[in-house]
């Protein structure tokens, strides 16, 4: 197996006209939006193949730790077909189309300064650099949540922490096809509900785009 599969977004010169963007698969549309709105603050392709977009300033509140600059968005190298099949075999179900499209585009991702996150499939290829890039394990997340007593048909895939406790998680209810947000680690009662993961990401982006100004400074409290 190759060392890594480099992230290769659609070249800018090949992008469709704005009115044609919605013909793209939803991960490409989301990337298109993030790139268009934040590339003016920089882009970077790491040695591991993850693609970072838009720096932001993090205020620490401590004089000994001055404000620092970080990357706001991070797309990871996509999963190969055999890795997707290994993930499905581990969880015991076929990934719904939108999730398969996402993992075929980016193995997880961290967005809006880690406020909206999609966990990735850890394996031999990714584990070596997961800590350094911020890739979190979807296998570990589901294991820990099911050990806490959550039903097996709830599949946890990320978090969206805006305005809520830090351990709010996102999950797919495989019985209904809806996407929900938990209250905390010990109560999976839905606090928010979306008809799809695409709808969740679009709504979250609409909201989170208002939290930072053009220079990457946060202008609204969480």
The pLDDT score that the predictor gives to residue 18 is 66
Stretches where the chain sits below pLDDT 50 are 1-2, 61-62, 64-65
Sheet holding 169-173, edge to edge: 43-45, 51-58, 68-75, 109-111, 116-118, 154-160, 169-173, 179-181, 192-194
C-alpha 183/C-alpha 163 separation (Å) is: 11
Q: CA angle, corner 60, sides to 57 and 61, nearest 5?
A: 125
* pTM attached to this predicted model: 0.88
Q: CA angle, corner 220, sides to 216 and 222, nearest 5?
A: 110
Q: CA angle, corner 172, sides to 168 and 176, nearest 5?
A: 130
The pLDDT score that the predictor gives to residue 128 is 58
**CB 7 within 8 Å of CB 120:** no
The pLDDT score that the predictor gives to residue 125 is 76
Q: At 103, which helix (H) or strand (E)?
A: helix 97-105
DSSP 59-87: P-SBTTB--EEEEEEEEPPPPPHHHHHHH
């Amino acid at each position: 197996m190759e060392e890594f599969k480099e992230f290769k977004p659609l070249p800018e010169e090949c992008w469709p006209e704005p009115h044609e963007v919605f013909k793209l698969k939803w991960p490409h549309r989301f990337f298109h939006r993030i790139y268009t709105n934040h590339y003016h603050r920089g882009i970077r392709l790491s040695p591991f193949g993850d693609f970072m977009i838009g720096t932001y300033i993090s205020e620490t509140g401590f004089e000994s730790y001055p404000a620092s600059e970080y990357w706001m968005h991070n797309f990871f190298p996509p999963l190969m077909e055999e890795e997707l099949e290994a993930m499905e075999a581990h969880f015991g179900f076929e990934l719904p189309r939108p999730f398969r499209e996402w993992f075929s585009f980016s193995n997880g991702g961290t967005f809006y300064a880690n406020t909206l996150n999609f966990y990735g499939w850890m394996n031999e290829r990714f584990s070596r650099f997961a800590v350094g890039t911020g890739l979190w394990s979807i296998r570990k997340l589901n294991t820990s949540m099911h050990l806490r007593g959550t039903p097996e048909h709830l599949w946890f895939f990320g978090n969206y922490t805006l305005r809520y406790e830090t351990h709010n998680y996102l999950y797919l209810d495989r019985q209904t096809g809806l996407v929900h947000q938990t209250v905390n680690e010990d109560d999976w009662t839905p606090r928010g509900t979306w008809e799809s993961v695409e709808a969740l990401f679009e709504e979250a982006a609409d909201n989170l785009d208002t939290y930072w100004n053009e220079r990457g400074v946060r202008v609204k409290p969480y």
